[in-house]
Each structure stands twice: as C-alpha cells, then as structure tokens.
C-alpha cells in the first residue's frame, strides 16, 4: 500500500510541471534567440523555426540523426536542397521548383516509397503546414538570408565529417554566392592520399562530377564515380590561391585556411571506409 501511495504521489508530482513559456519563443528558447517570426511562411527560416526545430530535431539532429539527415538550424538547407535521398536515391530530398518530386514532401504526406510517414509515429503535419513547405519548394527552395558578416567568402564541409561510405556525395557550402565558372578543373582537386594519385575533377569526363546544388549560397557536391569511391584516405582541396582561386562574384578569393584573410586553400581530409 505504501508503494502505491508513493508512486501515486510521484505521478501527481509530475503533473503541473509544464513550463509557463514566459520569456520564451514557440520553440521554448529565450526570445533573444528567436528568428523566423510568429507565423509560418514559405521561407526556410520560418519553416526551420516552426517545423524542423520543434518537431523534427528531437530525432534528426546531431551525429546520430536517422539516416544521416540532420535538420538542425544552419545545416538543414545543405542536407535537403538538391541532395539525393538515402532511402530513394533516385529522388532529391528537395527538388527546387518541384514539390511533387521532392522526397521530403513524400515523407510528410505519407506517399514515400520507403519507411513511415513523418513525423514518425506522430500526428501528421497539418495540410496547411505541408502546403507552406510545398510553396517554399515550388518557389525554388530559397536559402535563408546569409549572414555574410565576414568580408571574405568562407567554406564549410557539410559532408563528410571525417568518414563516409562509397556512394555518398562530398558537400561543401559557402557563406555566399561564388563564381560558378571557377568551380571547375584546376580549382578543385581530389587526391587519394594513400596512393598519391592526384587527379582533377572535371565535369563531364569519366571522373567524379561536380554538382552545383545551390548558387545562393553556393553548395557544391561532388558525386561519387560509377561504382562508388574506392576505400582509402582522401584529400579534397579547393584553391584559394593565385593564379586560379575560387572567388565570389566580387572576385574576392575564398578564405580557405580560415585566417580571416582572403586566400589559402580549403582542405578537407576524410576516409572512405564503408561500401554498400
């Protein structure tokens, strides 16, 4: 009897503990952190604030995000837009301008080829919410406005972090729009460091392809060759040094080495270990 009373008291103690929300935004964060406004609108900042962060990131965040899909603020754009789905590789997660061909919409509407409807085991998003996400995609899946506070363009590796499997893309995002004509042979090189076999990556040749997933901001993906990457250690180098440096539309070379000054190569080292 005493145990029942104790447990009942514990249940009662749990009740009434919900926060009042005072001083917080709709995501439960302090108001000073808020972005995206109060009403869901067809832009990524708003969708991030009203949908991805409160409903998706309980699972889709951090290194253990299911199927490697992170929807945290700051990385969701590069993980979604023009990125092939893991479950259905023939489809892009978000195909700008084409919500019907976007796997994200398939997952939200429950028509996906594989797996359950999202949010998994939860209530489906209201049709109005999905309609807003559809509208964002139909309008080109624009990126959120960039915080280009630095005077020189910088790059961030979205994928891989250190390792990846043989059929995955390398994804690098810039903090602004880069001159796409410079993203070609001579500026991006990939070296298999354990074999010292350097080769240029040239679109259209029988070599891995460079894909420009987005222009603003510039998201560059390097597709694996047919048959996938060979196992081993790699070094991706994006030139920030003369005579042929990747630069923004104002001809400012990238700050590849992160010293705050234009110039220096961006270097990403990683291993390909797993084959599928």
Which one of the spans 28-36, 134-142, 185-193, 261-269 is the region binding another protein (CB under 8 A)?
28-36
Asked if 110 and 117 touch (Cβ cutoff 8 Å), the reply is yes
3-state secondary structure of 250: coil
Nearer to another protein, 64 or 242 (CB): 64
Asked if 194 and 152 touch (Cβ cutoff 8 Å), the reply is no
Whole-number minimum distance, CB 157 to another protein, in Å? 10
What values do phi and psi take at 159, rounded to 5? -155, 135
Number of residues that bind another protein (CB under 8 A): 65
Asked if 185 and 201 touch (Cβ cutoff 8 Å), the reply is yes
* Residues in Cβ contact with 155 at an 8 Å cutoff, skipping those fewer than 6 apart: 172, 173, 174, 175, 238, 254, 256, 266
Residue 232 lies near another protein (rule: CB under 8 A): no
Residue 29 lies near another protein (rule: CB under 8 A): yes
Residues in region 38-67 near another protein by CB under 8 A: 54-55, 58-59, 61-67
Residue 20 lies near another protein (rule: CB under 8 A): yes
Q: CA-CA distance, 243 to 62, in Å (whole number)?
A: 39
Tell which one of 35, 42, 45, 72 touches another protein (CB under 8 A). Answer: 72
Residue 258 lies near another protein (rule: CB under 8 A): no
Whole-number minimum distance, CB 18 to another protein, in Å? 4
Tell which one of 37, 126, 186, 232 touches another protein (CB under 8 A). Answer: 126
Place of tokens 């104790």: 6
Nearer to another protein, 14 or 196 (CB): 14
Q: CA-CA distance, 253 to 245, in Å (whole number)?
A: 6
C-alpha Rg value of the chain to the nearest Å = 22
Q: CA-CA distance, 92 to 101, in Å (whole number)?
A: 7
Nearer to another protein, 128 or 206 (CB): 128
Nearer to another protein, 160 or 264 (CB): 160
Residue 35 lies near another protein (rule: CB under 8 A): no
Residues pairing with 170 in the sheet: 222
Asked if 23 and 32 touch (Cβ cutoff 8 Å), the reply is no
Which one of the spans 115-123, 213-221, 241-249, 259-267 is the region binding another protein (CB under 8 A)?
115-123
Q: CA-CA distance, 104 to 141, in Å (whole number)?
A: 12
Residue 183 lies near another protein (rule: CB under 8 A): no
Tell which one of 97, 122, 186, 260 touches another protein (CB under 8 A). Answer: 122
β-strand 163-165 against 266-274: which pairing, if any? Answer: parallel
Residue 90 lies near another protein (rule: CB under 8 A): no
Q: Kindly list the residues in this chain that would bind another protein in the complex (CB under 8 A).
A: 1, 3-4, 7, 10-11, 14-30, 54-55, 58-59, 61-70, 72, 86-87, 110, 112-117, 120-124, 126-128, 159-165, 168, 273-274
């Amino acid at each position: 009897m005493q145990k029942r009373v104790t447990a009942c008291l514990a249940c009662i103690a749990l009740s009434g503990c919900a926060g009042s929300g005072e001083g917080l935004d709709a995501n439960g964060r302090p108001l000073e952190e808020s972005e995206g406004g109060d009403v869901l609108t067809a832009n990524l900042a708003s969708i991030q604030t009203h949908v991805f962060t409160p409903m998706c990131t309980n699972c889709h965040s951090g290194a253990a995000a299911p199927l490697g899909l992170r929807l945290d603020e700051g990385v969701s754009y590069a993980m979604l837009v023009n990125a092939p789905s893991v479950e259905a590789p023939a489809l892009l997660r978000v195909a700008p301008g084409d919500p019907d061909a976007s796997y994200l919409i398939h997952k939200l509407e429950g028509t996906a080829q594989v797996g359950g409807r999202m949010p998994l085991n939860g209530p489906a998003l209201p049709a109005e919410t999905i309609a807003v996400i559809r509208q964002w995609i139909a309008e080109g899946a624009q990126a959120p406005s960039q915080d280009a506070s630095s005077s020189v363009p910088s790059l961030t590796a979205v994928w891989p972090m250190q390792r990846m499997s043989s059929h995955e893309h390398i994804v690098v995002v810039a903090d602004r729009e880069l001159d796409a004509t410079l993203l070609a042979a001579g500026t991006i090189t990939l070296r298999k460091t354990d074999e010292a076999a350097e080769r240029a990556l040239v679109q259209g040749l029988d070599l891995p392809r460079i894909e420009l997933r987005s222009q603003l901001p510039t998201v560059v993906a390097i597709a694996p060759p047919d048959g996938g990457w060979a196992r081993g250690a790699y070094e991706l180098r994006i030139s920030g040094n003369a005579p042929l440096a990747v630069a923004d539309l104002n001809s400012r070379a990238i700050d590849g080495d992160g010293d705050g000054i234009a110039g220096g190569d961006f270097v990403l080292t990683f291993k390909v270990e797993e084959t599928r």
